[in-house]
Structure 1
């Protein structure tokens, strides 16, 4: 219910915000990691703003290094992915991606030089040659985003390995 950018607010201002008109407040990443306490694997997506995210990968990498469970990081932002090996060593990093046009696909292929461990791809952009190459040739897992219905579930499990979902209970999903 507030306008503005995350980078324009302090952590205290962000944690004071309420979620969707409820009495719930946003946790910091460290609070979320402490709450989960290693009981399940965590995947943290980093969304940067050029010139406003100095130290983001390093800070998140340090927090995840101390997380009691398994953890991974991923991002759309190529400049952040390039920092994963240096500032988050040992934490699996992934490319969040979309699209089918040649320019985007070639940019995704370029990210393979930066030691990514998985890809998270827009479900509606499957199939494509990048995802096929990553899964078939590199044996790298692919997650889809954001799966909202059964047709997207079917597409996911035809061309990918797992899904990021919203609006339904995955235990109730029938995999074709």
Structure 2
């Protein structure tokens, strides 16, 4: 992996944004996971593999019952980890006692993840939300990241979460995750109207976007780039898609191959 930055904003624009470090290398989606090799998404092993390869790392965060930030994509156990309960029904200690079906590792906390990465590569944290105004997870993330912000960026689909993160730790880059309204509706994700999305985006004032690779021609990423704000794109799953994506984005969030 070369770690080169290809495509995207001019170097001067990136330097002005202060986020050249965020797009300096491809970012491994949920860590450098590989089910065939026993490397499970959002696991310590997948993080270690990304570190060894020199990639940036993206992970998902969910809230435990006692308000801790857990490294896990789904809001329920079962698909990857022992159990079937919602994460929000179990304490951090109880969740760490559960094991991944493959590999037998425990679930990580955000504090443990920050210790493992320790600023060696860019770390991108996606804060999951039910779009219900609950900001407890955002507050926990802010408390942990504020103490060690080096090369960490935070993002969410929920503009209210993005705005809360920006207010709590203005020095840490905050971004908005998104895709087209049509695609969001098809995937049962929140699908606000164009006017509502524009208003929410302005309110959140994201410093970067992370946008669906099939929606890079829509107005939010095009506007962000016109304003000199970096655009990441997900989820890129082949070299051919990577090459195409870098015509409209500054870096890829990838899985399933070596970018």
TM-score tier, shorter chain, comes to 0.7 to 0.9
Q: Which structure is richer in relative contact order (CA contacts within 8 A, separation 6 or more)? A: 2
Q: 2:250 aligns with which of 161, 164, 169?
A: 161
Q: Whole-Å Cα distance in 1 between the matches of residues 181 and 122 of structure 2?
A: 30
The CA deviation at 1:36 is: 1.3
Q: 2:107 aligns with which of 23, 26, 40?
A: 26
Cα RMSD (Å): 2.1
Partner of 1:131: 221
Are 1:15 and 2:96 matched, yes or no?
yes
User: What SS does the corresponding residue of 1:132 show, helix, strand or coil?
Assistant: helix
Encode CA deviations 1:79-131: one digit per residue, 9 max, x unaligned: 21221222222111000001155955444422133221100001122211221
Q: Whole-Å Cα distance in 1 between the matches of residues 198 and 131 of structure 2?
A: 21
Q: 2:158 aligns with which of 69, 77, 81?
A: 77
Tell me if structure 1 keeps the 8 A contact 2:159–2:204. no
Structure 2 unaligned residues grouped into runs of 5+: 1-77, 183-190
Q: 1:48 aligns with which of 89, 110, 129?
A: 129
Encode CA deviations 1:109-159: one digit per residue, 9 max, x unaligned: 2213322110000112221122111102x1110001111123321231011
User: What SS does the corresponding residue of 2:247 show, helix, strand or coil?
Assistant: helix
User: What SS does the corresponding residue of 2:246 show, helix, strand or coil?
Assistant: helix
Q: Whole-Å Cα distance in 2 between the matches of residues 52 and 131 of structure 1?
A: 25
Q: How many residues align?
A: 169
The CA deviation at 1:21 is: 2.1
Q: Whole-Å Cα distance in 1 between the matches of residues 212 and 101 of structure 2?
A: 25
TM-score, structure 2 as length reference: 0.59
Q: Please show how residues 95-110 of structure 1 align to structure 2 within 5 Å.
A: 95-99=176-180, 101=182, 103-110=192-199
The CA deviation at 1:73 is: 0.5
Q: Whole-Å Cα distance in 1 between the matches of residues 176 and 111 of structure 2?
A: 23
Partner of 1:143: 232
Cα 1:116/1:58, change in 2 over 3 Å: same
Cα 1:119/1:108, change in 2 over 3 Å: farther
Q: Whole-Å Cα distance in 1 between the matches of residues 146 and 216 of structure 2?
A: 33
Partner of 1:173: none
Cα 1:57/1:10, change in 2 over 3 Å: same
Q: Whole-Å Cα distance in 2 between the matches of residues 5 and 103 of structure 1?
A: 26
